[in-house]
Structure 1
Amino acid sequence: MSLPRNALVLFSGGQDSTTCLAHALEQYARVETIAFDYGQRHRIELDARLEVLRQFRAQFPHWAERLGEDHLLAVPVLGEISETSLTRDIAMEMQEQGLPNSFVPGRNLLFLTLAAALAYRRGLDVLVTGVCETDFSGYPDCRDDTIKAMQIALSLGMDRRILIDTPLMWIDKADTWRLAERLGGSALVGLIVEHTHTCYLGERGALHAWGYGCGDCPACQLRARGWHQYQSPGATPPGG
């Protein structure tokens, strides 16, 4: 454990950011959380994340003492300038340049900049984010090179050393489930299944083995495939 530093977790309330929150609570002395309301179709995640935070405090008292203030920033301008399937009622599909239309240009860059500004004011020197280059949709703002460049730019622009911690960068979804189990045991895995939200369509009607969701959007398919591989190592996942 490396407790002296203080962290701000970019926390959407999904599987990845919830795992990152557990990681941060194991690593850092004080941990706060931040989320963004940008007009996303799956805005239900903003409600789910509050329940996840409540469950963390109730189920993990050894973490609760280090879990500090939660912050929600409204950035509607991002939704206003984005023509994507996450901010408009349009079908999800691949675009000509090879990226899915769920890619919101500039989203992670803006989130990290705003998070760094808040961290500066709150005396936090680590940003923790669940971006991943191993098991993702090809989003360029999730790549390791992008995050390293942002870390340099933010540190220079704030005149303060800022670390961007990306615990999921080089692992896939099955390993994300395994990491959650290592950090919080079956209790954390169960919390993620029951309370987190990942589905791009905001569907929370049906509870699957891997959690709530439509089961068809890219986020659900990725989460379900990772769950299957986590539960049955070496097996070929559905659709794989």
Structure 2
Amino acid sequence: MTGSPRNAGALVLFSGGQDSATCLAWALDRFDRVETLGFDYGQRHRVELDCRGTLRERMAALDPRWAARLGPDHTLDLGVLGAMSETSLTREVEIGLREDGLPDTFVPGRNLLFLTFAAALGFRRGLDHVVGGMCETDYSGYPDCRDDTIKALQVALNLGMAKQFVLHTPLMWLDKAETWALAQRLGGAALVDLIVAESHTCYLGTRGELHDWGHGCGSCPACRLRAHGHARYREALTLDGRMPAAG
């Protein structure tokens, strides 16, 4: 969904990465009250959680309307998810493919749990809109990122909690170049520069050198995807002032 009641409240799944930072800007542009939620599940790239505070603070400074709308931040400990998962996102093992062809960065049940806990928190906080960065374009085949999965979960959450939650996935049909373009339209070059400098997406948790596209090892699937998308986005900027189309 794209249209939302202006006086409604939203809870954004905010990991500290590029996608979730763009989703936070998207929500701040649409809702009068926006809160954020992060999860500590023993992820290998836990450094992303350390990026969240700076991103929130500096995003609020970009626009006085955003500052007025940005509410509290929440972090939930889901260590049990990491403890029961044997994936390259929760173990110090080489990133590769599973026997079924899925990347072993897939953490089974992760997004299902994230959205369920978000809805439970939203229930208590009076926030009926939940925003997540799930994407079926650049999603590596993760089944819990599919549009059908999110729609089915929305139905289940509303039945199980007797509420009318709306699960928003503004990046669902965007590739990474289009996600960069969306950030540009929402917050201009200042937001793009902020996401480059302060967000974290690298699966290995490497900060290190600041590349044109952000911090990271430069070789894991997340870094390669982000770098490729940023290059295409920058290329489009130089072609007659065109921006990549973004849904």
User: What residue in structure 1 maps to residue 186 of structure 2?
Assistant: 183
- 1:124-165 Cα offsets, whole Å, 9 max, x none, are 000000000011211000000000000000011110000000
Aligned with 1:181: secondary structure?
A: helix
Cα distance in 1 between the residues matched to 2:104 and 2:76:
24
Pairwise CA RMSD: 1.3
Superposed, 1:98-177 pairs within 5 Å as 98-177=101-180
| Normalised TM-score (structure 1) | 0.96
Q: Give the length in aligned residue pairs.
A: 235
Q: Using the TM superposition, give the Cα deviation of residue 109 of structure 1 relative to its aligned residue in structure 2, in angstroms.
A: 0.3
1:81 aligns with 2:62: no
Cα distance in 1 between the residues matched to 2:97 and 2:218:
18
% identity of equivalent residues: 63
Cα distance in 2 between the residues matched to 1:212 and 1:112:
27
Aligned with 2:236: secondary structure?
A: coil
Instruction: In structure 1, give the amino acid aligned to 2:213.
Output: W
Q: Which runs of 5+ in 2 are unaligned?
A: 239-247
User: What residue in structure 1 maps to residue 18 of structure 2?
Assistant: 15
Cα distance in 1 between the residues matched to 2:52 and 2:201:
11
Cα distance in 1 between the residues matched to 2:163 and 2:65:
30
Instruction: In structure 1, give the amino acid aligned to 2:153.
Output: M
Instruction: In structure 2, give the amino acid aligned to 1:198.
Output: T
| Normalised TM-score (structure 2) | 0.93
Q: Which runs of 5+ in 1 are unaligned?
A: 236-240
Aligned with 2:66: secondary structure?
A: helix
Aligned mate of 2:74, from 46, 63, 71: 71
Aligned with 1:168: secondary structure?
A: coil
Q: Using the TM superposition, give the Cα deviation of residue 54 of structure 1 relative to its aligned residue in structure 2, in angstroms.
A: 1.3
Aligned with 2:170: secondary structure?
A: coil
User: What residue in structure 2 maps to residue 53 of structure 1?
Assistant: 56
Q: Using the TM superposition, give the Cα deviation of residue 67 of structure 1 relative to its aligned residue in structure 2, in angstroms.
A: 0.2
CA contact (8 A) 2:158 2:164 kept: yes
Cα distance in 2 between the residues matched to 1:185 and 1:234:
13
Q: Using the TM superposition, give the Cα deviation of residue 234 of structure 1 relative to its aligned residue in structure 2, in angstroms.
A: 10
User: What residue in structure 1 maps to residue 29 of structure 2?
Assistant: 26
- 1:35-71 Cα offsets, whole Å, 9 max, x none, are 0000001000000111101111223222010000000
User: What residue in structure 2 maps to residue 227 of structure 1?
Assistant: 230
CA contact (8 A) 2:62 2:187 kept: no
Aligned with 1:27: secondary structure?
A: coil
Instruction: In structure 2, give the amino acid aligned to 1:144.
Output: D
Between stretches 58-67 and 133-142, larger displacement belongs to: 58-67
